[in-house]
Structure formats: structure tokens, C-alpha cells
């Protein structure tokens, strides 16, 4: 089996303390923006549209020809992300469709060859850095356009006929070793031509031993690829989707996807970031109506931090390069809450076990400032918040949003906090306890 020592060798003998230092900014940030943008944004009905509708490259060419992001202003994106309290961003440089938003010399299937006529990744990097955000790249291991990518059960051209005959016919002449080299070449471009890159979000592995089914670490050349990545950008943070589970020290963080807040507790003590959409789709989906409420988004963010993890929240820009009104509304409401309450998120983690969590609420804790934050998911009608066992442990109690003192007194071992009748104007108010 793979030992931690081997993993250390693979990633350059980094100690746990050095890894924590390398990841300190990421852990303290807690909140990022995912951006899924590509030709699928023009189809406007899910980023898996090529698979879902079993489209050939020829069928899909119309989205390449139509792509014209004339309203793309990455500075606007960056300012919105910053206002919403996001400290980093991750943009799809290439999704499963194989279209590259960057000026790669290894393909013609790229943004500079569309009506965009420019390197969209470069403009993204410059704009987000200018706003002080860390920049990350998402890069799809899957590639439904590349002629050497060996097809598998989820490839668009396998959707209408999954027979072995059809699989063998379509894969005749395809050379996965050439595709692995293509990936290494493009990842070298991305990690060489755009300055310091803070995160690489590779996606995704689906190993399946049966021939022609799934893809895992051997298909991707994951060990070599990770060594290349760490050689090119020693400080970079990499997710866990290279199927290197047995090399868990090789990957930096786990990626629970679209899980409900109540499932996050099981990740406590791990290093993780939950990736979530505003709606069901990662790519822009015009007619989709299942959008998370402000409360649901706050629940994801607060519960992630309350369990020691990060939240990366996705926006799917339109084919013209804009965040649509629904994303703007959601980001604006996050900005309003984060403006007054972000101290209960940044540099915070789960509370010491000696502090019981009030029923239905959440606790976050900043170990540097020794501030404990009670997120009032329910605002008591009688204004009484009883904190069991807190008596003698708390020096001062105030609302975080306006630093207004809140009355409190000990009742045996409990601390009884008397909240004002008028709930502060926030979906989830936060009480700050100085320990
Ligand atoms: O198939 C992709 C999907 O389109 C999206 O990019 C998500 C984001 O985490 N990753 C894969 C599904 O797990």
C-alpha cells in the first residue's frame, strides 16, 4: 500500500507543518467563487449538454461559432466576488467539452479563435488579482473533444450505443498516452504563462476496472501530473480528484460536492471545501428555477466553517460574459450579510468541544482572537438565549453586526443572554462572545 513517506517523496518531503503554512491563506479564507464558463453557456441548459444530448463535435460546433462574450468585464466579476466576501476564485480554463478559455498553442479549440479573439483566462487572472483575490484554475481531466481521448461510458458519443462493438469502433486509433501528454502540455502552459497560481482544481475521476469503463489515476498519469504541478508551482493547492486517494498526502483537500449542510459534520478534522451551486447547474442554465434561498446559502457557508471547512460557491456566467440577475441578487445578499458578519467566518473553525451548541444554532470560533460566535438560526421569541455551561467562561457579549452590548448573567453553570425583542436586520444574526 502507499505509505505517507512515499507521498512525502512525491510531493517533495513536505512536513505537515509546512503544508499547513502553504495552505494557511486558503484555510483562513473560508469562502471562494467557482466560475463555470464555456461554450455550454450558449446552449444555456447545463454544462453536460454535450453528454445529455449525445452531441458530436460537429453538432456542437454551432456553440463555438456563436461564442461572442461581448459583455465580458472581469473587473465587474472580481468586484462582485470581493463584495460578497469571497477571498479566492477558481475559473474553468477547460471543462469536459474541451474548449479552452486560454490561448493554448496545443489546440485551435480556444477562445482566441472565436469572436472573443482574446485570452479570457489572462483577463480573469489580472482582474481578480487587482482586487486582491487569490486566483485558481479548474482544468477538466475529461475531454469530449480531443481526438485521442479514449471514450468511456459517459462520453457523449457512447450515449446512443454502449455496445463493445461501438466502443471499439470509436476508439480505433485513439491514443490515451498522447492525450496525457496534451494535458501535461496545457497544465504547463497554465502554470507557466499566468504568474503565480494559487489553486488547481482538477476534475474528475471515475475509476471502473471493467474495460472501457471509467477513468482513474493510471488514465490521467496522476502521479507524474502531480509531480509536474508541484514542480511548476511549489506553493499551489491541489484538490483530490486525481484518484490519488491512496496518495492522500498528494492531494491537499477533499471536495464534498453539492452535499446538504447536515452532511458536513463528517468532514470535521479533515481539510475540505464543499463546492455548491446557486441552482442545480454549474453552467448557465436559463430556464432553471431551483435556486437556493439566501438562508440556504448562509447555512452552507456558516455550517462549513462550523465544521472546519471552506465553501466555494459557483456562478455560471452567460455566453455574453455576464453574471445573470439571479446570481447578482444572490451575491448582493451575501455581500450584505458578510459586510457585518464576516469576522465569524474568516480565520474561524469549529468551536472547542467544551462549548455546547445551542439547539438549532451554529458555533464558529476564532482561535487567534478567542472569539466565539453564535449564529442564531432561530431567534428566541422571548429573547432568552441559554448557553449551557458557559457561565464563568465569557467576558463580554455583543452582536457582531453593530457591536452593541447584549445583557447576560450567570444562572448556575449556564449563561443566560437576554436578546432584544427586535431581531437585528440579518437573516441569521450573530452573537459574539469574548472568551
Ligand atoms: O462533471 C463536473 C461538473 O460539470 C462540475 O464541473 C462539477 C464541479 O465540482 N464537477 C464535476 C461533477 O463532479
Q: Which set of grid coordinates corresponds to residue 435?
A: 472568551
Nearest residue (by CA) to ligand 1, atom 5, is 282
**What is the pLDDT, as a whole number, of residue 211?**
67
Distance 226 CA to ligand 1 centre (A): 20
**Judging by beta carbons within 10 Å of its beta carbon (0-12, 13-18, 19+), is residue 5 exposed, middle or buried?**
exposed
Q: Which set of grid coordinates corresponds to residue 81?
A: 466576488
Atom of ligand 1 nearest to the CA of 142: 1
Element (H, E) at 372: strand 371-375
Report the range of poorest mean pLDDT among 102-106, 159-163, 408-412: 159-163
pLDDT at 4 over 80: no
236-255 pLDDT, tens per residue? 999 999 998 644 457 899 99
Element (H, E) at 77: helix 74-83
Distance 356 CA to ligand 1 centre (A): 36
**CA 229 to CA 231: how far, in whole Å?**
5
**CA 394 to CA 431: how far, in whole Å?**
12
Ligand 1 pocket at CB < 6 A: 47-48, 203-204, 257, 275, 282
342-398 pLDDT, tens per residue? 999 999 999 999 999 999 999 999 999 999 999 999 999 999 999 999 999 999 999
**CA 396 to CA 202: how far, in whole Å?**
45
pLDDT at 266 over 60: yes
- For 13: left if phi > 0, alpha if psi spans -120 to 50, otherwise beta; the answer is left
Strand partners, 136: 90, 199
In this predicted model, which residue has the larger pLDDT, 18 or 180? 180
Asked if the bond preceding 342 is cis, omega within 30° of 0, the reply is: no
Q: Are 142 and 148 in contact (CB under 8 A)?
A: no
With b for 16 or more beta-carbon neighbours within 10 A and e for fewer, the 147-179 pattern comes to ebbbbbebbbbbeeeeeeeebeebbeeeebeeb
The three-class DSSP label of residue 198 is coil
By percentage, how much of the chain surpasses pLDDT 90?
Answer: 89
Nearest residue (by CA) to ligand 1, atom 13, is 204
**What is the pLDDT, as a whole number, of residue 127?**
98
**CA 69 to CA 120: how far, in whole Å?**
9
Global pTM value: 0.96
**What is the pLDDT, as a whole number, of residue 2?**
37
**What is the pLDDT, as a whole number, of residue 5?**
52
pLDDT at 12 over 80: no
Q: Which set of grid coordinates corresponds to residue 277?
A: 451551486
Distance 36 CA to ligand 1 centre (A): 9
Rg (CA), the chain: 23
Antiparallel, parallel or unpaired: β 88-94 and 31-35:
parallel
The neighbour count for residue 231, using CB atoms within 10 Å, is: 11
Average pLDDT (120-130) is: 98
Q: Of 243, 51, 53, 219, which Cα lies nearest the Cα of 150?
A: 219
Distance 309 CA to ligand 1 centre (A): 19
**CA 361 to CA 211: how far, in whole Å?**
49
Which 8-state DSSP code applies to residue 245? G
**CA 395 to CA 389: how far, in whole Å?**
14
No. of H helices and E strands in the chain?
A: 13, 16
Q: ipTM of the predicted structure?
A: 0.99
**CA 46 to CA 286: how far, in whole Å?**
9
| Mutation pick for ligand 1 pocket among 93, 203, 215 (CB with most ligand atoms within 8 Å) | 203
Strand partners, 95: none
**What is the pLDDT, as a whole number, of residue 142?**
98
pLDDT band for position 210 (cuts 50, 70, 90): confident
Element (H, E) at 416: strand 414-418
Which 8-state DSSP code applies to residue 257? B
The neighbour count for residue 67, using CB atoms within 10 Å, is: 20
Element (H, E) at 76: helix 74-83
Nearest residue (by CA) to ligand 1, atom 3, is 282
Atom of ligand 1 nearest to the CA of 92: 6
**What is the pLDDT, as a whole number, of residue 16?**
81
The three-class DSSP label of residue 369 is coil
Average pLDDT (50-77) is: 98
What does pLDDT average to over the chain? 94
Torsion over CA: 290, 291, 295, 301 (sign): positive
**Judging by beta carbons within 10 Å of its beta carbon (0-12, 13-18, 19+), is residue 388 exposed, middle or buried?**
middle
Block residue for cell numbers 425583542: 421
Helices (H), 3-69: 4-10, 16-29, 40-43, 49-52, 57-66
pLDDT band for position 280 (cuts 50, 70, 90): confident
Distance 67 CA to ligand 1 centre (A): 22
**What is the pLDDT, as a whole number, of residue 248?**
45
Distance 324 CA to ligand 1 centre (A): 20
Average pLDDT (136-164) is: 95
Average pLDDT (157-183) is: 94
Amino acid at each position: 500500500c502507499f505509505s505517507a513517506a512515499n507521498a512525502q517523496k512525491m510531493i517533495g518531503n513536505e512536513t505537515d507543518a509546512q503544508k499547513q503554512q502553504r495552505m494557511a491563506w486558503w484555510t483562513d479564507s473560508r469562502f471562494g467563487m467557482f466560475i463555470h464558463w464555456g461554450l455550454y453557456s450558449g446552449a444555456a441548459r447545463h454544462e453536460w449538454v454535450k453528454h445529455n444530448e449525445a452531441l458530436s463535435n460537429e453538432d456542437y460546433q454551432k456553440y463555438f461559432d456563436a461564442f461572442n462574450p461581448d459583455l465580458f468585464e472581469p473587473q465587474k466579476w472580481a468586484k462582485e466576488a470581493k463584495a460578497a466576501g469571497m477571498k479566492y476564485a477558481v475559473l474553468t480554463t477547460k471543462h469536459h467539452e474541451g474548449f479552452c478559455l486560454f490561448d493554448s498553442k496545443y489546440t485551435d479549440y480556444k477562445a482566441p479563435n472565436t469572436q472573443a479573439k482574446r485570452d479570457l483566462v489572462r483577463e480573469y487572472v489580472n482582474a481578480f488579482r487587482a482586487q486582491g483575490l487569490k486566483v485558481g484554475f479548474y482544468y477538466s481531466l475529461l475531454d469530449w473533444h480531443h481526438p485521442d481521448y479514449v471514450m468511456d461510458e459517459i462520453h457523449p458519443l457512447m450515449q446512443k450505443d454502449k455496445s463493445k462493438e461501438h466502443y471499439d469502433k470509436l476508439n480505433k486509433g485513439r491514443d490515451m498516452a498522447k492525450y496525457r501528454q496534451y494535458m501535461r502540455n496545457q497544465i504547463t502552459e497554465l502554470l507557466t504563462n499566468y504568474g503565480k497560481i494559487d489553486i488547481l482544481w482538477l476534475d474528475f475521476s471515475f475509476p471502473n476496472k471493467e474495460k472501457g469503463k471509467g477513468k482513474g489515476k493510471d488514465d490521467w498519469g496522476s502521479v507524474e501530473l502531480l509531480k509536474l504541478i508541484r514542480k511548476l508551482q511549489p506553493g499551489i493547492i491541489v484538490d483530490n480528484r486525481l484518484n490519488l486517494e491512496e496518495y492522500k498526502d498528494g492531494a491537499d483537500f477533499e471536495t464534498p460536492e453539492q452535499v446538504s449542510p447536515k452532511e458536513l459534520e463528517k468532514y470535521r478534522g479533515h481539510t475540505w471545501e464543499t463546492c455548491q451551486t446557486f441552482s442545480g447547474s454549474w453552467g448557465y442554465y436559463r430556464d432553471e428555477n431551483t435556486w437556493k434561498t439566501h438562508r440556504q446559502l448562509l447555512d452552507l457557508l456558516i455550517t462549513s466553517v462550523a465544521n472546519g471547512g471552506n465553501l466555494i460557491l459557483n456562478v455560471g456566467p452567460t455566453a455574453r460574459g455576464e453574471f445573470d440577475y439571479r446570481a447578482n441578487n444572490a451575491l448582493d445578499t451575501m455581500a450584505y450579510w458578510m459586510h457585518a458578519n464576516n469576522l465569524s467566518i474568516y480565520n474561524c473553525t469549529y468551536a472547542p468541544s467544551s462549548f455546547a451548541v445551542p439547539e438549532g444554532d451554529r458555533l464558529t470560533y476564532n482561535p487567534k482572537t478567542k472569539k466565539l460566535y453564535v449564529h442564531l438560526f432561530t431567534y428566541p421569541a422571548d429573547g432568552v438565549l441559554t448557553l449551557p455551561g458557559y457561565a464563568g467562561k465569557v467576558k463580554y457579549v455583543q452582536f457582531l453586526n453593530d457591536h452593541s452590548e447584549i445583557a447576560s448573567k450567570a444562572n448556575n453553570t449556564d449563561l443566560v443572554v437576554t436578546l432584544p425583542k427586535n431581531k437585528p436586520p440579518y437573516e441569521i444574526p450573530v452573537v459574539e462572545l469574548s472568551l
